[in-house]
Structure 1
């Protein structure tokens, strides 16, 4: 192949995205609790993106709600504070189109669970 001038490209394995890693982390927590290990970066990603339906699809959100039940300490307090602040911001919003209904519904569920 070298003589013919054809260069073979090495296939570099694709690294999983932050989304894939976080959702796999959540799935492992749910299905394999003995193998699951806490990872702050994965939890942080989940807490930061849990209201985004595209990043955390509905089938994972129900698992995430069960995960949030065990949330403790500063992470729990911060999550409640951010959810309350977002809800107030959305309540003040003049146009209903600016906030997807799914986002508000997720906010309500998180607040109900953690408050």
Structure 2
């Protein structure tokens, strides 16, 4: 088929006609509405967005998630506005707790056999990463940390031993630092416990 055979695509396709077939197939598919929402008038007279019923528009799962996020964001914004108008909103959002606080609380809850305690990989990872630092894991928590390490299993246990051995080799090669004796002692305790 030559260029004359491609009248519907303007004769611009190659002699094989593949480009033309793709364009004509795409042109025959009805276009889908991209905006899944409608405007209505709200109680205060302003425009309020509302979801379009499924009968009017079929949404893909991704479009549905986007729509739900937007609606939730609108609801939070409206709630903040109502609180602000009522004078109940705090001027500053509540402070988030640091990773250190959350990890130490996790460790204490484990030590007390708290009924709500459950394993949290993020907290364990933070503890394993910072357990040699006295500023992040104070001495009063380190004995609990050692008890926690006794129950460490599998890959986490292997990696903890490997890291402790690597840190010990690294510290042996460096010049002595007055801040290191506590760190060296902690590394030795961990190696002694897990080896």
* TM-score relative to the length of structure 2: 0.53
Cα deviation code 1:43-68 (max 9, x no counterpart): 00000000000000001111000000
The corresponding residue for 2:150 is: 69
Aligned-residue offset at 1:21: 0.3
In the superposition, relative to structure 1, how do residues 81 and 99 fare at CA in structure 2: closer, same or farther (>3 Å)?
Answer: farther
2:166 to 85, 104, 114: 85
Q: As a proportion of its length, which structure holds more strand?
A: 2
Aligned-residue offset at 1:13: 1.2
Q: Does 1:46 align with 2:136?
A: no
Larger RCO: 1 or 2 (CA < 8 Å, sep 6+): 1
Q: List 4+ stretches of structure 1 deviating above 3 A.
A: none
Gaps of 5+ in 2: 1-88
The alignment partner of 1:56 has SS state of coil
What is the RMSD of the two structures over their aligned residues, measured on CA atoms? Answer: 1.5
Gaps of 5+ in 1: 1-7
CA contact (8 A) 1:90 1:99 kept: no
What is the aligned residue count? 107
Q: As a proportion of its length, which structure holds more helix?
A: 1
Cα deviation code 1:59-113 (max 9, x no counterpart): 11110000000000000000000000100111111x1117610000000000000
Q: Highest CA radius of gyration, 1 or 2?
A: 2
Q: Distance in 2 between matches of 1:68 and 1:99?
A: 24
Q: Distance in 1 between matches of 2:160 and 2:179?
A: 19
* TM-score relative to the length of structure 1: 0.88
Cα deviation code 1:13-67 (max 9, x no counterpart): 1110000000000000011343210000000000000000000000111100000
